[in-house]
Structure 1
């Protein structure tokens, strides 16, 4: 199934349509679904749920993996990472979301954007937006986490923004060693360089990761790139 945009973008379009034309939201959703070739929004949502790319990516991951989820702004990398966390929790694992960007209420809203009730995972999901987040902080927080825990770090380029933090390369090497030792999966949301041009290639790749500071990207095991509803997985 190929949609013109991610499902959450289509929902936003429907909300705007509902307000602009003063029609019920369910009517607007059905109209957007019709534009995508579906008879109703429920049919589109059901079909989208069957092919959640997060499940495809999770099936490729092994304990100890370091993963990049990268895209330009507004392409769904945060939601993709949350869907990956949900897929892991549905399999019985714990998930932790470290962020230097979002408040807790923002993440709860993102859960709802992907059709998930956050209360369903109360005892499996942990949110952390401490200003102290860096490699040492993540390692200390996850030191007693059970094997198979999936942690999302939002986002890669902010880890060494503070001068007192170690260089990014040093932090990623420490996190890689820790993830391997403890059997955890670490997912890093990453920015893509502004020079990326989708007219040349539909989806960014490892060469498009924005690196304000030196980093050996071979420290990551797998990567997921998103652009305009298209998703591609790569081994790094």
Structure 2
């Protein structure tokens, strides 16, 4: 039996001709950099001197100066790099090497493609090393491997790890312009004007914790928020660690029909036209549900990556935080919840999307004379309060006082708001339909 042939040695992926052609085209035509700047970065170049030249071109472009022979050589001189790249004569050679700038994007894509190949080779080596590292738990190794590949994909979409403040300012103004007709909101609105006025929306990268004692309405409020977001055509991903997806669907149909939840099965069995039409409308909502119980935080992030690769998710919902598992089965409750809280915070920042995580409160709420929740009531770990950008509590006076001065009223206490004000928004809770509505209108606004 013949032995398999030894694999041929392969050279590191690079295209030096494409690198030179890209730089020469930019020097030749002041408009050429506009086509490549959104995706091509200095790190994509194999030769360091090419990376330095391109970085100088981007610096000129950022100052709205044409990146020509004079301005680029001047920028390299200011950076003390002109002699290191070979002097102004090298720039002249690059310029003379291309007859036209028409094909600049073609050359730049080749530079990017080979850079991605080098990054994949490096990532592959790191993943191989993880395969040999038996000291780490399996879940951590799988998450590290998945995250490394995801970082490559994200880097290609985002362009670069470090972003200039001018780019941030431009993106910030774009975000403001996109919500120009929606008041002061800077993020995803919950659909309740009084609450949105306090929070200014759930902003990208934020962990928002919604907490209450069992039976107060955490899942109901989170589902109402998801429903309002989805009605605006924005995709929502829900990790339901406690409730089956069929029950969540039943609640969504009840929200659409505006009837008690327990009437939905009977109406559908009878073939009620309104109920069937409501089911059809709900089925069209861009809501995605994973109801796998006892997921650990690494699995949540991995499944989130897979869904986000197929749909532009605008809001993640995790119901609820204490039911998620940590990376290690040996952790006690405090370590486990700390790991989950930190993992969800990382998930929000990784996807640049808000994560609405539900949380239980400790029994301390029940034992006090005043039953309004406090931050110290968050159950399991002080890390929840520390990691969250916003913390909301649900307080319903009718659960504690009989008779009650405000029956049916639920107060949403924004107890922590890292980037804004705190305050209280009042909603009406309809127990039969498990629906929260604004006090000032029949249904919450569908505006952002």
Task: Please give the secondary structure, in 1, of the residue aligned with 2:216.
Answer: coil
Match of 1:233 among 391, 414, 431: 414
1:134 — aligned with what?
296
Cα distance in 2 between the residues matched to 1:75 and 1:191: 10
Change over 3 Å in CA distance of 1:53–1:190 after alignment to 2: farther
**How much does 1:99 deviate?**
1.7
Q: Which residue of 1 aligns with 2:360?
A: 191
Indicate the structure (1 or 2) with the bigger Cα radius of gyration. Answer: 2
Taking the aligned partners of 1:141 and 1:204, their CA distance within structure 2 comes to 33
Residue 209 in 1 paired to residue 378 in 2? yes
> Number of residue pairs matched?
186
Runs (5+) with no aligned partner, structure 1: 1-49
Confirm or deny that 1:159 pairs with 2:300: no
Which segment drifts farther, 65-74 or 196-205? Answer: 196-205
Give the unaligned 5+ runs of structure 2: 1-190, 258-277, 397-409, 419-448
Question: What do residues 155-200 of structure 1 show as CA deviations (whole Å, max 9, x unaligned)?
Answer: 1111237962763323332332231121111111111111214864
Using a 3 Å threshold, how does the CA distance of structure 1 residues 233 and 186 change in structure 2: closer, same or farther? same
Match of 2:237 in 1: 96
Where does residue 122 of structure 1 map in the other structure?
283
Encode CA deviations 1:79-128: one digit per residue, 9 max, x unaligned.
Answer: 11111112222332211211221111211232244446464343511111
Structure number with the higher strand fraction is 1
Q: Are 2:236 and 2:313, in contact at CA under 8 Å, matched by a contact in 1?
A: no
CA distance in 2, matches of 1:53, 1:77: 18
- Runs in 1 of length 4+ with deviation above 6 angstroms? none
Q: Which segment is superposed worse, 132-141 or 110-119?
A: 110-119
Q: Which of 208, 224, 231 lines up with 2:392 in the alignment? A: 224
Aligned partner of residue 300 in structure 2, secondary structure: helix
Partner secondary structure for residue 365 of structure 2? coil
CA distance 1:160–1:230, shift in 2 (3 Å): same
Pick one of 171, 174, 195 that aligns with 2:340: 171
Distance 1:83 1:53 in 2: 15
Structure 2 distance, partners of 1:137, 1:90, is 28
Q: Which has the higher contact order (CA 8 A, sep 6+)?
A: 1
Residues 295 and 325 in structure 2, CA contact (< 8 A), matched pair in contact too = no
Change (3 A) 1:112 1:201: farther
**1:85 and 2:226 matched:** yes
Which residue is 1:106 aligned to? Answer: 247
- Report the structure, 1 or 2, having the larger helix content: 2
- Separation (CA, whole Å) in 1 of partners of 2:253 and 2:330: 34
CA RMSD of aligned residues (A): 3.0
TM-score, reference length from structure 2: 0.37
Secondary structure of the residue aligned to 1:149 is strand
Output one character per residue of 1:45-97: Cα deviation in whole Å (capped at 9) or x when no partner: xxxxx957665577421111101111111111111111111222233221121
Q: For 1:216 and 1:72, how far apart are their aligned partners in 2?
A: 16
Per the alignment, residue 37 of structure 1 pairs with none
Q: Distance in 1 between matches of 2:384 and 2:391?
A: 14
Question: Is this contact kept in 2: 1:69–1:187, CA < 8 A?
Answer: yes
Q: Secondary structure, in 3 states, of the residue corresponding to 2:243?
A: coil
CA distance in 1, matches of 2:279, 2:196: 18
